[in-house]
Amino acid sequence: MTTRTTFEDRLLVELRGEIARRETELREMEREEIECKEEDRLARAGAARRRLFTGGRLALAAGACAAAGLAAVLVPGTPADSPAYAVEQHDDGSVTLSLVKIGIGSQAQHRLAERLRAEGIHVTIDDLPYGERCAQPRGELLSAPMERGYIGDEPPDGDDVVAPAGLSRQWTVTLRPGDSLGIENMTRKDGTGVPTELFYAVKGEIKPCEPESAP
């Protein structure tokens, strides 16, 4: 009887110890689960805030462009391009430039130059008197040059402006860091109004302009 009681007592103690361990493990598991749920909730809340900020910023930029009637390529974190041109960035570091007007004018040229220089692309803008152009070649051309000209004192804004025969409205070229864009402005014969514009892209760094008589 005494032996049985002693054995049963030990068994009861062991069972109580096992139950206590199980309860401790269960409480630990519940605590870890609560912590994981809280971390997950905070992570989702943070992601939602980031999406709200980014989406709102881009939506605001896109809305402003739509209100202004601009045709532009939006890049996250950068301002919209000019309505006279579009610059699209690529994952490999290259950019595609599209001129979307018959002529873009001096101010847009300088804005474009700043935009491309920020991407590691060389840009030269040469203002030449009537009858002169930069001697060619100034490097290996990446595409056929584009010459643009129009009559008037201000660049035309509307898409209803018809490009003259043989003159394309849009010119597109892809440039990589280290490449160059050359822009030449040739004064009109009467010396007034907006000059004729010549655009060309060169592989690598462009050579300095050496004026010569235009053909």
Query: Do 113 and 198 fall into the same domain?
Result: yes
What was the pLDDT predicted at 70? 27
Question: Is residue 192 domain-resident?
Answer: yes
C-alpha closest to that of 139 among 176, 94, 173, 180: 180
Query: Do 45 and 150 fall into the same domain?
Result: no
What was the pLDDT predicted at 41? 66
Concatenate the DSSP letters of all residues of 11-24 into one string: HHHHHHHHHHHHHH
Question: Is residue 80 domain-resident?
Answer: no
Query: Do 6 and 60 fall into the same domain?
Result: yes
- Those residues of the chain that have pLDDT short of 50 are 1, 48-81, 150-168
What was the pLDDT predicted at 75? 29
Question: Is residue 184 domain-resident?
Answer: yes
Using an 8 Å Cβ cutoff, are 55 and 40 in contact?
A: no
Query: Do 102 and 150 fall into the same domain?
Result: yes
> Where is the domain boundary, 11, 37, 69?
69
Question: Is residue 77 domain-resident?
Answer: no
* Structural domain boundaries enclosing 132: 85-213
Reduce the DSSP state of residue 84 to 3 states and report it.
Answer: coil
C-alpha closest to that of 206 among 177, 178, 172: 178
Using an 8 Å Cβ cutoff, are 201 and 141 in contact?
A: yes
Distance CA 29, CA 16 (A): 20
Query: Do 94 and 36 fall into the same domain?
Result: no
Question: Is residue 31 domain-resident?
Answer: yes
Query: Do 55 and 136 fall into the same domain?
Result: no
Query: Do 50 and 92 fall into the same domain?
Result: no
Q: How many domains are there within the chain?
A: 2
Is the bond preceding residue 195 a cis peptide, omega within 30 degrees? no
pLDDT in tens, 141-165: 998 887 765 444 444 444 434 444 4
E-assigned strands of the chain? 85-89, 95-99, 122-128, 132-134, 140-141, 146-148, 171-175, 180-186, 196-203, 211-213
Query: Do 4 and 54 fall into the same domain?
Result: yes
pTM to 2 decimal places: 0.55
Question: Is residue 79 domain-resident?
Answer: no
Query: Do 51 and 157 fall into the same domain?
Result: no
Query: Do 99 and 182 fall into the same domain?
Result: yes
Query: Do 205 and 102 fall into the same domain?
Result: yes
Question: Is residue 107 domain-resident?
Answer: yes
Query: Do 157 and 195 fall into the same domain?
Result: yes
Question: Is residue 176 domain-resident?
Answer: yes
